[in-house]
């Protein structure tokens, strides 16, 4: 997921017809899902985590306008750049100027949200 | 166009799942990067989150430099678009309370949570019913705030 081309290759569903679609990302998802599904259940059998007083998993929230609007903004940005926050952070180690610019813009977006959240 | 690499993809996914598992079992938090980055900035749980970021960078650097063949990192978008995309992703992930609630990593947890939720729904309603009952008692605590739905009321103690 550090490679934006891999992500945009997955998101380009038009590629299904032309044969250039790259479904690798679905395998990443499936692998993570399988492991964490088990891990999450096993973890919750214990009343508390090993090094903290309690589990802080947020309760499943309602689907509200914040989630939908946030998801939409995220999706548009993700589709353009092919990088979401985690991989963008990891890709900083490549020291590529494009990645650094993207990461800075992302951080600025988060700061903007923090300002917006304080005011509303 | 890219080569389709299902094995590398699945292996990476499994590692991500393991990392999320260790993080959850260890410190009880969901390993969502946008929340972690925001925490580093705002100071909420800063030490833990900063350490996580360092670990993530160290892991990425190990693979990138240590395996002889740095994977190509190619962005096809030009600068202005990259900046716009970054702003959208940054703002959007915070607004939607977490990059993981929007995307693969979190499809993961949403799924798991989803069916746990089904199992618990009844019990939760009963609890809420109990809280409803307390709410009508003037001496009841004001926190946590409880919504009194008709359904919850039915389960009151």
Q: Which of A78, A88, A47, A71 is nearest to B107 (CA)?
A: A71
Integer Cα distance of B137 and B153 in angstroms: 14
Contact call for A70 and B93, based on CB within 8 A = yes
Contact call for B13 and A30, based on CB within 8 A = yes
Contact call for A39 and B59, based on CB within 8 A = no
List the end-to-end C-alpha distance of chain A, in Å, as a whole number. Answer: 34
For residue A115, which residues of chain B lie inside 8 Å, CB to CB? none
Residue of B18, B27, B87 lying closest to A108 (CB–CB)? B87
For residue A12, which residues of chain B lie inside 8 Å, CB to CB? none
Which residues fall within 8 angstroms of residue A63, CB to CB, at 6 or more apart?
A: none
Residue of A27, A93, A108 lying closest to B64 (CB–CB)? A93
pLDDT digits (tens, 9 = 90+) for B105-143: 444 444 555 444 433 444 454 455 445 444 444 444 444
Residue A100 tokens, joined: 């650094």
Distance, CA of B25 to chain centre: 14
For residue B10, which residues of chain A lie inside 8 Å, CB to CB? 27-28, 30-31
Integer Cα distance of A38 and A34 in angstroms: 7
For helices A24-44 and B6-27, what crossing angle results, to 10°?
A: 20
A108: closest chain B residue by CA: B87
- Of the pLDDT bands very low, low, confident and very high (cuts 50, 70, 90), residue A101 is very high
Q: pTM higher than 0.90, yes or no?
A: no
Integer Cα distance of B115 and B89 in angstroms: 28
Q: Write the ipTM.
A: 0.89
């Amino acid at each position: 997921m550090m490679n934006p081309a891999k992500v945009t290759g997955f998101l380009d569903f038009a590629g299904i017809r032309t044969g250039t679609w790259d479904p690798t990302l679905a395998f990443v998802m499936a692998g993570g899902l399988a492991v964490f599904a088990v891990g999450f259940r096993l973890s919750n059998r214990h009343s508390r985590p090993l090094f903290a007083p309690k589990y802080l998993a947020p309760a499943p929230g309602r689907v509200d306008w914040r989630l939908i609007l946030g998801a939409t903004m995220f999706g548009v940005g993700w589709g353009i750049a092919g990088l979401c926050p985690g991989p963008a952070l990891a890709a900083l180690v490549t020291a590529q100027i494009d990645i650094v610019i993207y990461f800075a813009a992302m951080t600025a977006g988060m700061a903007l949200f923090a300002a917006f959240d304080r005011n509303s | 166009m890219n080569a389709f690499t299902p094995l590398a993809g699945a292996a990476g996914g499994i590692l991500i799942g393991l990392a999320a598992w260790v993080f959850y079992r260890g410190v009880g938090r969901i390993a969502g990067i946008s929340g972690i980055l925001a925490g580093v900035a705002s100071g909420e749980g800063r030490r833990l989150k900063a350490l996580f970021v360092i670990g993530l960078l160290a892991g990425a650097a190990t693979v990138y430099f240590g395996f002889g063949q740095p994977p190509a990192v190619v962005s096809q978008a030009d600068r202005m678009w990259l900046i716009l995309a970054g702003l959208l992703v940054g703002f959007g992930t915070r607004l939607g309370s977490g990059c993981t609630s929007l995307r693969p990593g979190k499809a993961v947890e949403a799924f798991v949570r989803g069916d746990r939720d089904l199992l618990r729904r009844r019990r939760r309603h009963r609890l809420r019913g109990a809280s409803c009952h307390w709410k009508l008692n003037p001496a009841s605590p004001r926190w946590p705030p409880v919504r009194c739905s008709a359904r919850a009321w039915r389960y009151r103690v």
